[in-house]
Amino acid sequence: MRRGLMRWNAEELPLAVLQERTARLQAAMRQENLQALLVYTNLVRPSAVTWLTGFTPYWSEGLLLVGRDGAPTFATALSKRVASWIRSVSPLGEILNAPRPGTALGQRVAADTSVCRIGVVELDALPSGSYDDFSAAAPAVELLDATALFAGARRGADAAERHLLARADAIAVAALEQVDAAGATDAGSVAGAIEKHARLAGAEEVYITVASDLMADRRMIRPSAVALGDIFALRASIAYKGCWVRRARTFAKDAAARAAMARGDAWFAQVVQSIAPGKPLADQINTQVQAFGAKLESWMAESCLGSYPLQVIASSRSSSNGAPATGDFVVLSLALTIDGVPWVGAAPLIVGAAL
């Protein structure tokens, strides 16, 4: 569950920004002749609703109905007693507290005979309970997948989102700075220190994973009391006001390996600044790694396009080799071998601009 700081701040996320996002989505809906759009949320898949309303559920689930015009309506299974809290973190639109959000919104739609085509973000993945409730209450309405439509309208981070992403990133960077590689003993204690620092700085959520002995295994798992090896890596996935970033860093106890780590970190910082629009990511990464003289083990680019905070948009495992556009938000993760030493890193970026 979310248990970090959750508070709407009008300076960070002005109401006008939310209204502009909704209007942009409604324009896209009109082009597709959709009279409404349905968006699901829970704490694992919050991001589409967060982008539109600022609201992230700390628990439970809900559905947002975006009409042709005006503010959206949010229906949630969170109880009526929590309504004042929801209003305090979500300034936009009507809030319906209903044990079955699908039924509540379906009934509302059914009452408007002009609504016959509704888009659903990630229709196939919509929980069957929500789908069945909505369909039963509005049987005459045609439900169509609107994942691509939403992603198109949502693509490109506006100034408010960039500000929140930058804040999340600053929290992640500062939290990972707490790691004293030479003195670190077990993964659990290190993770606890990172998490504490991030939460004290106002993080809404913090996930820490660790590769405790990078020479043996690069895969990251949840931290436990396991001893840290000579070279280890930590990944901090941090949310601030609904915006998620990842930072990963490699740490070495030995001075010689630390030099390789520092070289990798400095090079990666420059790579993150240099990702250009209009050029395939795979080509850009391969060129940069070649020039650096390291061995590329794997790479991954994530962004936020739908309900997931971060989803893979391209990687060394996939055949897609898309080109990012100016203003796209990307988290870039790389795994290299530098002078025979394993190194991993991850950082967020805005294509063609500073974060």
Partner 1 sequence: MTPVASHRRKRLAEAMRQAGLDVIVLAGNAWQNDYLRYATDFAILEGQGLAVMRHDGNVALYLDSVLEAERAAVECAGVAVVHAPDLAAAVDEALNRLRNQRIGGAPYRLLPRRIAARAKDLNLSDETTFLDTLLMAKLPAELDAMRRAARLADDGYAVFLQAARPGRADYELVAEVEAFYRANGVDDNFQIIGVGGPEVRGMAPPSGKRLKAGDLVTTELTPCVDGYYCQICRTLVVGTPTTEQQAAHALYRDAMEAGIAAVRDGVTAAAIARAENDVFRHHGLGDYVTSEYTRVRGHGMGLFADSKPHLLENVTTRIDAGMALIVHPNTYHPVVGYMVLGDALIVTKTGCEVLTKMPRELFSVGV
List contacts with partner 1 (CB under 8 A): 1-7, 42-45, 58-61, 79-82, 84-85, 88-89, 123-132, 188-189, 191-193, 195-196, 199-200, 202, 206-209, 217, 219-225, 237, 300, 308-310, 312, 315, 317
Write the DSSP assignment of 9-77 as a string of letters. -TTTS-HHHHHHHHHHHHHHHHHTT-SEEEEEEESSS-HHHHHHHS---SSSEEEEEEESSS--EEEES
* Contact (CB, 8 A) for 154 and 230: no
Burial class (CB in 10 A: 0-12, 13-18, 19+), 139: exposed
Contact 239, 204 (CB under 8 A): yes
Nearest distance in Å: CB 201, partner 1: 9
Q: How far is the CB of 112 from partner 1 (least distance, A)?
A: 23
The smaller minimum CB distance to partner 1, of residues 175 and 257, is found at: 175
Closest CA to 176 of 234, 94, 128: 234
- Between 222 and 279, CB nearer to partner 1: 222
Residue 305 to residue 325: CA distance in whole angstroms: 13
Minimum distance from residue 18 beta carbon to partner 1 (Å): 19
Q: Which is nearer to partner 1, 309 or 342 (CB)?
A: 309
C-beta closer to partner 1: residue 97 or 288: 97
* Least Å from the CB of residue 196 to partner 1: 3
* Min dist. Cβ of residue 263 to partner 1 (A): 26
Residue 239 CB, nearest approach to partner 1 (Å)? 11
Per residue, the 3-state secondary structure of 196-241, as one string, reads HHHHHCCCCEEEEEEECCCCCCCCCECCCCCECCCEEEEEEEEEEC
196, 210 Cβ separation under 8 angstroms: no
Q: Which is nearer to partner 1, 114 or 317 (CB)?
A: 317
Q: How far is the CB of 20 from partner 1 (least distance, A)?
A: 26
Interatomic CA distance for residues 19 and 12, integer angstroms: 14
Q: Which is nearer to partner 1, 129 or 293 (CB)?
A: 129
CB of residue 58 vs partner 1: minimum separation in angstroms? Answer: 4
Give the end-to-end CA distance of the chain in Å, rounded to a whole number. 28
| Dihedral class, residue 352 (left if φ above 0, else alpha if ψ from -120 to 50, else beta) | left
Rounded to whole angstroms, how far apart are CA atoms 317 and 340? 23
For residues 154 and 241, which CB has a smaller minimum distance to partner 1 in the complex? Answer: 241
Which pair of tokens denotes residue 311? 């989803």
Identity of the residue, 69 or 217, whose beta carbon is nearer to partner 1 in the bound complex: 217
